[in-house]
Amino acid sequence: MDPLLLGACVAVITILVLFSGVSVGLGLLIVSAGFLIVFDGVRSLELMPEILFGKLDNFALLSIPMFIIMGASIASTRAGADLYEALERWLTRIPGGLVISNLGACALFAAMSGSSPATCAAIGKMGIPEMRKRGYPDGVAAGSIAAGGTLGILIPPSVTMIVYGIATETSIGRLFLAGVLPGALLVGLFMAWSLYSTWRSGNIALLNTGSYTWRQRIEILPRVLPFLAIILGVLYAMYGGIATPSETAAVGALLCLVIAMVIYRLWHPRDLWVVLRDSTKESVMILFIIAAAGVFSYMLSSLFITQSIAEWIGTLDVNRWVLMAAVNVFLLIAGFFLPPVAVILMAAPILLPIITTAGFDPIWFAVVLTINMEIGLISPPVGLNLYVINGIAPDISLKTILTGSLPFVACMVLAIVLLCLFPGLATWLPDYVMGTAI
């Protein structure tokens, strides 16, 4: 069978298997085993265990459970509420300070936890009722939190970036730095739209919140500054050449647990058990998908599907930006139905040769891919963040939440366009800090 036609068959069958409700990791193994048996014979399965466990034999993978523990220990405390309160007290005199506080809290908490749903839940529980109480439109209140929560997979330290780095053998340090300026750009675009939408509602009183004394502003800082110090310390250790990403992640996880125990008195064994249990479940899920994706990649390569697609793309007489537009459409559609980690691990083996052949920077592409995955988090039919917000504020209809989120989707699309026009937004900081990649 022609490899391109075979690749189309693999794509269709993979989609059908995943839509059947089978877990992503198991679905990839089923598809891989099936095609290997049909085209290479039963003996080809002898390599599957070696590939499966060999894919996990990577010290860099240790950073994934460590960063997850780091985020879980933060998410299990009142850190999100305290962060929101701190920003509200300090930004209260700024016009529209409340919505800016919510988006700022989402950005900072996302950087600490690395989890979009956790960010929505932590900040939304405080921010949405407060904004609605003060008269902000429901669409702005719900949409800003749903969109702000997506920043967790872009702003470092990001588990999604780690997975991309491992899947494509790209520097994780460079990927973290590449997400900083685009993350700040998205926060700025989100804030600009939120302020405009609030101003357009015609209620000028919304732009002015209550006032706080200097004592009230300062007394909240000891609860949040230690967590922010840990984030900055992790990044400094990583880029200062003091430790590897895995080592800094381990130290960061330990320090976050200690701070959660000291400041928020997370002493009870049952509470600590929940943090470790949930972290283990999420880590095993991601690592299983990584291992299964390794087998899936081997199957694609063994059947010459990856090589044939890359060769076919290379013969196309089309502008490379037309090609990039097609890749973005594919990523958007995939992100509507699958979690970011699954899309990256499934698509990276196919897309990486294509984008490098077309002359695109893999670091730059990682940011574009991640923003596409962010769009999937607030877009139906899956749109995980939309359902999290609906669970927090059930009296706000899902339609209102979706309508409020759509302008933020437009902001993300605008960010992708700006990245295409000015790729230095993603590549300048990594090159400045770590030197130009060879």
Summarize pLDDT for 155-177 with one digit per residue, the tens: 887 788 888 888 888 888 899 88
What are the pLDDT digits (tens) for 142-155?
Answer: 888 888 888 878 88
C-alpha dihedral (319, 164, 298, 346), degrees to nearest 10: -70
Q: What is the pLDDT of residue 185?
A: 93
Q: According to the 3-state scheme, what is the secondary structure of the chain?
A: CCHHHHHHHHHHHHHHHHHCCCCHHHHHHHHHHHHHHHHHCHHHHHHHHHHHHHCCCCHHHHHHHHHHHHHHHHHCCCHHHHHHHHHHHHHCCCCCHHHHHHHHHHHHHHHHHCCHHHHHHHHHHHHHHHHHHCCCCHHHHHHHHHHHHHHHHCCCCCHHHHHHHHHHCCCHHHHHHHCHHHHHHHHHHHHHHHHHHHHHCCCHHHHCCCCCCHHHHHHCHHHHHHHHHHHHHHHHHHHCCCCCHHHHHHHHHHHHHHHHHHHCCCCCHHHHHHHHHHHHHHHHHHHHHHHHHHHHHHHHHHCCHHHHHHHHHHHCCCCHHHHHHHHHHHHHHHHHHCCHHHHHHHHHHHHHHHHHHCCCCHHHHHHHHHHHHHHHHCCCCCCHHHHHHHHHCCCCCHHHHHHHHHHHHHHHHHHHHHHHHCCHHHHHHHHHHHCCCC
Q: State pLDDT tens for residues 329-371.
A: 888 888 877 778 888 887 877 788 888 888 899 999 999 999 9
Q: Say if residue 12's pLDDT is above 90.
A: no
Q: How far apart are CA 382 and CA 333, in angstroms?
A: 11
Look at residue 95 and tell me whether its pLDDT is greater than 80: no
Whether 208 shows a pLDDT value over 60: the answer reads no
117 confidence band (pLDDT: 50, 70, 90) = confident
Output the pLDDT for position 210.
Answer: 60
Q: In Å, what is the CA distance from 202 to each residue of 136, 144, 195, 198, 210?
A: 10, 18, 12, 7, 19
Residue with tokens 């959660």: 260
pTM: 0.80
| Percent with pLDDT over 90 in the chain | 8
Task: Tell me the average pLDDT across 405-415.
Answer: 91
Lowest-pLDDT range of 132-136, 215-219, 247-251, 339-343: 132-136
* pLDDT surpasses 90 at 43: no
Specify the pLDDT at position 109. Answer: 78
pLDDT digits (tens, 9 = 90+) for 301-325: 788 877 777 677 667 777 888 888 8
Model confidence at 234: pLDDT above 90: no
* Share of residues in the chain with pLDDT > 70 (%): 93
Q: Which of 191, 211, 219, 168 is nearest to 100 (CA)?
A: 191
Query: Taking the alpha carbons of 235, 241, 245, 250 in that order, is the dihedral positive or negative?
Result: negative
